[in-house]
A and B are shown apart, each in its own frame.
Chain A
Amino acid sequence: MTQMPAHPLLYVQDLVKTFGSGSRAHTAVDRVSFALAEGEVLGLVGESGSGKSTTLRCLMGLETPDAGDLDYDRIDLRKPSRTQRRRFRREVQLVFQDPYSSLDPRMTVGQILAEPLVVSGACPARERRDRVVETLELVDLGAEHLGRHPRDFSGGQRQRIAIARALVVRPRVLVCDEPVSALDVSVQAQVLNLLKDMQSRLGLSVLFVAHDLAVVRYLCDRVVVLRDGRVVETGTREEIYTRPREEYTRTLLEAVPRLDPAGERARRAVRLARAASQGAAQPVA
């Protein structure tokens, strides 16, 4: 495979997950491997159905993989001990795609942020409130929001609350499952900037799952391209975006809409020419 970081923090090797059985079996994830280094932002890209969400769910322990290795900082995630599982649960946090459904509608913001602290015991009860307020301020919300419910907030604000919930236990790794795809385009940039800012300020490692290549380009150091449950290509951002080696990656990049009509016309001409030549080649083959 391509270059693996020297000391990966998170490490996935030949992960396989099949749903259903017999003739209806569908292999959602087929021998996927990648590694996340400390302090790195890794993008996991693919169309819907490419297996990126299933990979993530296996990693977080929400699905049981059929085969393969999952490692986090020398913890074997397929059979961790109690204390290891606790450490993993605390140090690796997930931000969900849809902030409208990932926050308990009955809880106040204060309760939502305090709960991970209570459960993990990450900070003593006396300091809990300070930690919650501090984290809330980190995501540009103030202590005055503590007593409000999720329904009182906009989508972008909710996603910031969700990010705060993930950050409140001071994790080492942030796993983001399409964190902006459910948001309006106008607030996407806001949330992405926040994530980028958090990453550099807190020295987080980030695994970022998305189908939007523009978003990934903005955030990620390295990119893994998935298709039909397999890794198509792995490379640094420059490699993937300037000289992709695989045809599929190129197709994906071409599908990104651009505000460049002249360039788009040129690319379209090339595409048409290529299609025409393939069409001509078909009968012969």
Chain B
Amino acid sequence: MTASPPRLVREPQAPPAKSRPHLPWVAPGTVGDGIARGARTLLGRHAGVLDVVGLVLVVLLLLAAVVGPWIAPHDPYRADPTSSLLPPGREHLLGTDDAGRDVLSRLLVGARSTLLAAVGVVVASTFVGAVVAAVAASAPRWLDEAIMRVVDIFLAFPSIVLALGIAAALGPSLTSVVVAMVVAMWPATARLVRAVMRQTTSSQYVEAARLTGMSQRRLMSRHVLPNSFDSVYVQLGLDISGAIVLIAGLAFLGVGAAPPSADWGSMVAQGREYVTTAWWVALFPGLAITLAAVGFALLGDTLRVRLDPTVVRA
């Protein structure tokens, strides 16, 4: 299997490209160029434009989540009727909303809760899903069947409907949204991990390892799990992307964070009334949600290519 997929292997005359910027429209020596170079170092030589875009978006989001409250130009919560619905300008880069609050500041502050909630939901639902899958995969057949049918029942509901119902029942808060989304999202992970583990467990190298007489625990930790988790890592990126959209969707429908808090989804909901007169109130939070979701989806795809051990990398 020395033949390599042509898509991933470039011709050896790559070196001259080294000094060229990664994104064709970024001039050398600028900050953008520096970021592109940094991303390239992180991603390896064969990163494409989309890999870089994904990484840059995610890095920007992380940056906003960490330092957002400090770099925000205005207080995101202070209402000021005199500056209500100001268009984007020098003082308010992205304009102000109906209560006169600075949209950019609210976006920066909202990044943290959005990211924390999305990552929290995905980590928790992946954990629950993986545990359920591991139990099912090593359980007797009837129990395995029973568990997976329950998973099917959960999967039969559209996740937004399920999450909406649970969140509404628990009362409007970010916590209830997180709980609701974990309940809505774990079955998909469970199904994925179960399928992958089944495949890994029946592979010949696991059989070969079992024949050495090693303990079940060593078999799981050294062979089955490492070879099963690639698809989970990939799914993580896509799941976070989906979670961001879902959280925003729930907030938009009014079951998310309580109104004054700077939440992207509820910002879109508030701005909805002024779409015709003050487009910036709804547009920028919507754009933030989209970019965050796209960033994580692209990053997930980058991971998929980089983590697959059967892909020969030159």
Q: Is A154 an interface residue (CB 8 A)?
A: yes
Quick check: B208 and A165 within 8 Å, CB to CB?
Answer: yes
Quick check: B204 and A60 within 8 Å, CB to CB?
Answer: no
- Shortest Cβ distance from A82 into chain B, in angstroms? 10
Question: How far is it, in angstroms, between the C-alpha of A96 and the C-alpha of B205 when the chains are bound?
Answer: 9
Mask of B1-27 contacts with A, CB within 8 angstroms, 1/0: 110000000000000000000000000
Q: Across the interface, which residues of B come within 8 angstroms of A11, CB to CB?
A: none
Mask of A86-118 contacts with B, CB within 8 angstroms, 1/0: 100110011010101111111000000001100
Q: Is B223 an interface residue (CB 8 A)?
A: yes
Chain B: CB-nearest residue to A122: B212
Contact A86 to B203, CB < 8 A, known contacts A119-B218, A151-B309, A154-B2: no
Question: How far is it, in angstroms, between the C-alpha of A61 and the C-alpha of B218 when the chains are bound?
Answer: 19
Contact A101 to B213, CB < 8 A, known contacts A106-B227, A151-B312: no
A149 touches which one: B211, B212, B226, B309 (CB < 8 A)?
A: B309
Question: How far is it, in angstroms, between the C-alpha of A105 and the C-alpha of B227 when the chains are bound?
Answer: 8
Q: Is A64 an interface residue (CB 8 A)?
A: no
Quick check: B205 and A101 within 8 Å, CB to CB?
Answer: yes
Q: Is A13 an interface residue (CB 8 A)?
A: no
Quick check: A101 and B211 within 8 Å, CB to CB?
Answer: no
A86 touches which one: B1, B213, B309 (CB < 8 A)?
A: B213
Chain A: CB-nearest residue to B215: A119
Q: Across the interface, which residues of B come within 8 angstroms of A119, CB to CB?
A: 212-214, 218
Chain A: CB-nearest residue to B213: A89
Contact A96 to B1, CB < 8 A, known contacts A104-B227, A106-B227, A151-B309: no
A104 touches which one: B2, B205, B211, B214 (CB < 8 A)?
A: B205
Interface residues of B in 208-248 (CB under 8 A from A): 208-214, 218, 222-223, 226-227
B205 touches which one: A60, A86, A93, A102 (CB < 8 A)?
A: A102
Q: Across the interface, which residues of B come within 8 angstroms of A120, CB to CB?
A: 212-213
Quick check: A105 and B309 within 8 Å, CB to CB?
Answer: yes
Quick check: A106 and B309 within 8 Å, CB to CB?
Answer: yes
Q: Is B207 an interface residue (CB 8 A)?
A: yes
Q: Across the interface, which residues of B come within 8 angstroms of A103, CB to CB?
A: 205, 208
- Shortest Cβ distance from B309 into chain A, in angstroms? 5
Q: Across the interface, which residues of B come within 8 angstroms of A96, CB to CB?
A: 204, 207-208
Chain B: CB-nearest residue to A102: B204
Name which of A61, A119, A152 has the most chain B CB atoms within 10 A of its CB: A119
Mask of A50-94 contacts with B, CB within 8 angstroms, 1/0: 000000000011100000000000000000000001100110011
Q: Across the interface, which residues of A come within 8 angstroms of B277, CB to CB?
A: none
Quick check: A106 and B226 within 8 Å, CB to CB?
Answer: yes
Quick check: B1 and A60 within 8 Å, CB to CB?
Answer: no
Question: How far is it, in angstroms, between the C-alpha of A102 and the C-alpha of B214 when the chains are bound?
Answer: 16
A94 touches which one: B208, B213, B222 (CB < 8 A)?
A: B208
Question: How far is it, in angstroms, between the C-alpha of A151 and the C-alpha of B313 when the chains are bound?
Answer: 10
Q: Across the interface, which residues of A come within 8 angstroms of B208, CB to CB?
A: 94, 96, 102-103, 162, 165
- Shortest Cβ distance from B304 into chain A, in angstroms? 15
- Shortest Cβ distance from B200 into chain A, in angstroms? 10
- Shortest Cβ distance from A93 into chain B, in angstroms? 8
Q: Across the interface, which residues of A come within 8 angstroms of B218, CB to CB?
A: 119
Question: How far is it, in angstroms, between the C-alpha of A23 and the C-alpha of B218 when the chains are bound?
Answer: 40
Known: A102-B205, A149-B309. 13 other contacts (CB 8 A): A62-B210, A96-B208, A101-B204, A101-B205, A102-B207, A105-B205, A105-B309, A105-B310, A106-B309, A119-B212, A152-B312, A154-B1, A154-B2
- B residues adjacent to A (C-beta < 8 A): 1-2, 203-214, 218, 222-223, 226-227, 309-310, 312
Closest 7 CB pairs of A and B: A89-B213, A102-B204, A104-B205, A101-B204, A119-B214, A105-B309, A119-B212
